[in-house]
Structure 1
């Protein structure tokens, strides 16, 4: 399970299915970015930080759940309709929202403890969403199972995550500087939407890792 092979296969899948992923996720991604932008204008800079998380919990689980269901369907050679995937995602929303809230709180606590515990938690929680959606686990059970699955694979998962996230962090930092100078809300919305959409590639990478780790050691690799 070479990280470069995982990234290559994931990129190939993302590129080949880009139009479906755009149709499925981009409208909700833009909606989330718009709501976050409106919230940023409506509240004071030092306001309760939980407001941003509330917006995330309203929208993020919907397109993430739909994407995971799409990835699973494509891995079995199926191509369900976009509306069917979104409808199934709506039924998953309550449990997935609870999971996202728990993960967010754990990561914030971990990052506040000299950063490294947050990085460790980021890796150990990597498969929680897939376990909840694909195995119908409850949030706490998905967290426990993710800790078990990631054991022995920490470095591989971390390398794959950093290969995706570091360029995105650079893009995010650059875009914040640009639209802070221009003060253009439309440009801000476009760049924030692009950043959120590109983050979906990480979901594809982690799904690929999840499938490989769940396979038997002697099972040949297969594309996502």
Structure 2
């Protein structure tokens, strides 16, 4: 399994289906950015950062689950309607939100322990969302199975994640340098929405890797 081939195939898919992905996810991505702005404005720069996490838990599971369902459908040659995908994603929301909360908590704790444990957890838990949405596993079971599937593939998964996230982090940093705080609310909304939407490419990349690993026969 060549990570470069995974990235190439994922980029081709993302570009080919960009319109459908935008139609499915972008409204919720923008809603999330609007809510984040509202929370930031209400609590101030020194306010409790947990409110931003709560906003993410409200919206992120919806568009991510919908995207995963779309990816799975396209892998089988199907073309479901956006509203059907969103309806199915809504049913997944409680379990997905719990999984996201657990993953976020563990990764933040890991990052606080000299960063590397957080990076390790990010890789080990990378497939939990797909297992929950596509296999119907409970959050803890999905986390456990993700750890099992990632065994022996750590560096490949890490390379794929960093190949997507590092350019996005640099892009976000560059945008902040060009438009430093305090930003115009519309500019801030545009930057945050574009950044969050582009992060969906990570979901596409990890789905491709998940499918390759999950379909690999046991030795």
Q: TM-score, normalised by structure 2?
A: 0.97
Q: Deviations over 1:198-222 (max 9, x none)?
A: 000000000000000012259xxxx
Say whether residues 1:17 and 2:11 are aligned partners: no
Counterparts of residues 117-196 of structure 1 (less than 5 Å): 117-180=117-180, 183-196=183-196
Quote the Cα distance in structure 2 between the aligned partners of 1:214 and 1:81.
26
Quote the Cα distance in structure 2 between the aligned partners of 1:121 and 1:182.
34
Q: How far does residue 46 in structure 1 lie from its aligned partner after superposition?
A: 2.2
Quote the Cα distance in structure 2 between the aligned partners of 1:83 and 1:159.
34
Quote the Cα distance in structure 1 between the aligned partners of 2:48 and 2:167.
29
Cα distance, 1:182–1:110 mapped onto 2, change above 3 Å: closer
Quote the Cα distance in structure 1 between the aligned partners of 2:208 and 2:123.
14
Q: TM-score, normalised by structure 1?
A: 0.95
State the partner residue of 1:57: 57
Quote the Cα distance in structure 2 between the aligned partners of 1:58 and 1:179.
28
- The size of the alignment, in residue pairs, is 218
State the partner residue of 1:222: none
Question: What stretches of structure 1 move > 4 A for 4+ residues in a row?
Answer: none
Q: How far does residue 181 in structure 1 lie from its aligned partner after superposition?
A: 5.0
Quote the Cα distance in structure 2 between the aligned partners of 1:147 and 1:14.
26
Q: How far does residue 112 in structure 1 lie from its aligned partner after superposition?
A: 0.2
Q: Give the CA RMSD over aligned residues.
A: 1.2
Unaligned runs of 5+ in 2: none
Unaligned runs of 5+ in 1: 219-224
Quote the Cα distance in structure 2 between the aligned partners of 1:54 and 1:2.
36
Q: Deviations over 1:128-157 (max 9, x none)?
A: 000000000000000000000000000000
Cα distance, 1:103–1:181 mapped onto 2, change above 3 Å: closer
Quote the Cα distance in structure 2 between the aligned partners of 1:179 and 1:162.
25
Quote the Cα distance in structure 2 between the aligned partners of 1:67 and 1:127.
14
